[in-house]
Structure 1
Amino acid sequence: MSPVQSSRIVLFYLLLSLSACFWCILSMFVAPFLPFRARYRFVVQTWCRCAVWLAKTIIGIRYEVKGLENIPQRPCVILAKHQSTWETFFLSALFEPLTQVLKRELLYVPFFGWAIAMLKPIAIDRSNPKAALKQVASQGHERLEQGAWVLVFPEGTRIPTGQIGKFSRGGASLAVNANLPVLPVAHNAGEFWPKEGWGKTPGTVQVVIGPALHAEGNGPRAIAELNDRAFAWVAQAQREIGALDSGVVPSEPVESA
Structure 2
Amino acid sequence: MQRRVFRKLPIKEDLLFTYEPVMHFLDVRDSRYLSVREETSFLSKVAPSLVFYPQLISVVYQAAAKAKNGSYSENDWALDSLRVLRLLEKAGLQFSISGLQNLEKLDGPCVFIGNHMSIMETLILPVIIVPYTKVTFVVKESLLDYPVFKYVMRSRNPVAVTRTNPRQDLKKVMSEGVDRLQNGISVIVFPQTTRSTTFDPLQFGSIGTKLAGRADVPIIPMALKTDAWRNGKFTKDLGKLCPEIPVKTAFGEPLRVSGKGAEQHQQVADFIQSKLQEWK
TM-score by length of 1: 0.81
Give the whole-Å Cα distance in 1 for the aligned partners of 2:59 and 2:267: 39
Q: Identity across aligned pairs (percent)?
A: 26
Partner of 1:89: 123
Give the whole-Å Cα distance in 2 for the aligned partners of 1:16 and 1:159: 23
| Structure-to-structure mapping, 1:176-215, within 5 angstroms | 176-190=213-227, 192-197=228-233, 198-203=239-244, 204-215=246-257
Asked if the contact 1:45–1:92 (Cα under 8 Å) also holds between the matched residues in 2, the reply is yes
Give the whole-Å Cα distance in 2 for the aligned partners of 1:48 and 1:110: 18
Count, aligned residues:
227
**Match for 1:207: what amino acid?**
T
Q: Deviations over 1:106-158 (max 9, x none)?
A: 21234321232122111112232211110011111010111111000122321
SS in 2 for 1:183: strand
Asked if the contact 2:222–2:251 (Cα under 8 Å) also holds between the matched residues in 1, the reply is yes
Asked if the contact 1:167–1:227 (Cα under 8 Å) also holds between the matched residues in 2, the reply is no
The counterpart of 1:122, out of the listed 159, 179, 185, is: 159
**Match for 1:65: what amino acid?**
I
Structure 1, unmatched stretches of 5+, are 33-38, 243-257
Give the whole-Å Cα distance in 1 for the aligned partners of 2:44 and 2:69: 38
Q: Does 1:108 align with 2:145?
A: yes
Give the whole-Å Cα distance in 1 for the aligned partners of 2:268 and 2:218: 10
Asked if the contact 1:52–1:86 (Cα under 8 Å) also holds between the matched residues in 2, the reply is no
Partner of 1:21: 61
Structure 2, unmatched stretches of 5+, are 1-41, 234-238
Q: What's the CA shift for 1:5?
A: 4.2
Greater relative contact order (Cα < 8 A, sep 6+): 1
Give the whole-Å Cα distance in 2 for the aligned partners of 1:182 and 1:77: 5
SS in 2 for 1:160: coil
Partner of 2:112: 78
Q: Does 1:63 align with 2:104?
A: no
Give the whole-Å Cα distance in 1 for the aligned partners of 2:44 and 2:83: 22
Partner of 2:12: none
Asked if the contact 2:63–2:152 (Cα under 8 Å) also holds between the matched residues in 1, the reply is no
Q: Deviations over 1:53-83 (max 9, x none)?
A: 11111x2112112111011232200011211
Asked if the contact 2:110–2:187 (Cα under 8 Å) also holds between the matched residues in 1, the reply is yes
Asked if the contact 2:43–2:51 (Cα under 8 Å) also holds between the matched residues in 1, the reply is no
Q: What's the CA shift for 1:224?
A: 2.2
Q: Deviations over 1:144-184 (max 9, x none)?
A: 111111000122321124x4343211100000111112111
Give the whole-Å Cα distance in 2 for the aligned partners of 1:155 and 1:69: 26
Give the whole-Å Cα distance in 1 for the aligned partners of 2:222 and 2:125: 10
Give the whole-Å Cα distance in 1 for the aligned partners of 2:248 and 2:151: 32
Asked if the contact 2:110–2:186 (Cα under 8 Å) also holds between the matched residues in 1, the reply is yes
Partner of 1:233: 271
Q: What is the RMSD of the two structures over their aligned residues, measured on CA atoms?
A: 2.1
SS in 1 for 2:47: helix
Give the whole-Å Cα distance in 1 for the aligned partners of 2:218 and 2:138: 18
Q: Does 1:48 align with 2:48?
A: no
Partner of 1:139: 176
Give the whole-Å Cα distance in 1 for the aligned partners of 2:186 and 2:193: 18
Give the whole-Å Cα distance in 2 for the aligned partners of 1:144 and 1:231: 22
Q: Is the alpha carbon distance of 1:202 and 1:167 closer, same or farther for their aligned partners in structure 2, counting shifts above 3 Å?
A: same
Runs ≥4 in structure 1, deviation > 4 angstroms?
A: 2-6
**Match for 1:174: what amino acid?**
L
SS in 2 for 1:31: coil
